[in-house]
Amino acid sequence: MSAADRGEQAPRGFLHGLNPLVTLAAPLPAMVGMVVVRDLATPALVAVAAIALILIGARPAPRVAAAIVIGIPVAVLVLGFSFSLWADPAALTASPAIVHIGDWRYTQAAALIGLATGLRVGALVSLALILGTSTTAATLVHAAIQHLRLPYRVGYTALAAFRFVPRFAVELELIRSAHRVRGMAEGRGPIAWLRRGLSAVIPLLAGAIRHAERVALAMDSRGFGASDTRTERTIVPYRRRDTVFVIVVLATTIVLFAVGGAIPF
């Protein structure tokens, strides 16, 4: 019997106990570095380190962990090949050809350029997932309001917008179920699929407008916007371990960039 079946919470890694602003700010230097590096080793090392940190520190669900471990390398290979096709062939004439079909040449230099670009994208996604797998939008908004002095009107408005997305998914499934009951889901092919999609637009927009009105009335009834500041029920503290995490991540970033050759010594 799993922990969820016994009513227990899944094990949480140490990243869940950190301030979300820390998990947002600590990877930023490495993300900026990914924009300027051009070698293969540095983004590969950064991506591996970020994925290892996610698996150890966030402890995502097995399905999410498998998607990260398998999906990111596959995406890197697909993007690498796609970007290599966009390389300027005139600038790569001196490179040996891997595939030669008529006048078209797929050169080794183009493959390396595409792979380097794909690795940088994969590293950026891996670094962004450090925040995405270890916190929620609500916790991030609370931390920004408390520590960055973000106006609570802006923060809670953004949080309300984030919560619209899962509600749209639920309402869309209800609309599709209603269409199936009424026999509107019959037919195959792109025309039938387009017709079903368009038939769900109006009910979905109507439901979104009704939900927005209810949210606005609920916020007005609670005095939202009546004062410049509001007290917070959920406190997101900044602890000593947050500072230690930032220092460790920055030091690791410097070491990885030095080992990869991006920082000459």
pLDDT for 91: 66
- CB of 130 within 8 A of CB of 223? no
- CB of 12 within 8 A of CB of 133? no
CA distance 109 to 160: 48
Other beta carbons less than 10 A from residue 164's beta carbon: 14
pLDDT for 241: 94
Q: Which residues, 6 or more positions from 212, have their beta carbon under 8 angstroms from its beta carbon?
A: none
3-state SS assignment for residue 63: helix
CA distance 185 to 196: 7
In sequence order, what E strands does 8-143 have?
A: 97-101, 104-107
pLDDT for 11: 53
Q: Give CA separation, 8 vs 13, 56, 61, 76, in Å.
A: 15, 20, 14, 36
List phi, psi (to 5°) of 116.
-65, -40
Going by the DSSP 8-state scheme, the letter that residue 87 receives in this structure is S
CA distance 139 to 130: 15
- CB of 244 within 8 A of CB of 238? no
Q: Is the dihedral of CA 207, 212, 213, 214 positive or negative?
A: positive
Q: Residue 19 is encoded by which pair of tokens?
A: 């301030």
- Burial pattern 72-96, b for ≥16 Cβ within 10 A else e, equals bbeebeebbeebbeebeeeebeebe
C-alpha dihedral over 32, 36, 40, 46, to 10 degrees?
-10
3-state SS assignment for residue 27: coil
List phi, psi (to 5°) of 138.
-65, -45
- pLDDT tens-digit profile, the chain (265 residues): 334 334 444 457 899 999 999 999 999 999 999 998 988 999 999 999 999 999 999 999 999 999 999 999 999 999 999 988 887 776 666 777 777 777 777 788 888 889 999 999 999 999 999 999 998 888 888 898 888 888 888 888 888 887 777 888 888 888 888 777 776 655 566 666 677 667 778 888 888 888 888 888 888 887 777 777 777 778 889 999 999 999 999 999 999 999 987 665 4
CA distance 123 to 38: 13
Chain Cα centroid distance, residue 133:
8
pLDDT for 187: 58
pLDDT for 123: 95
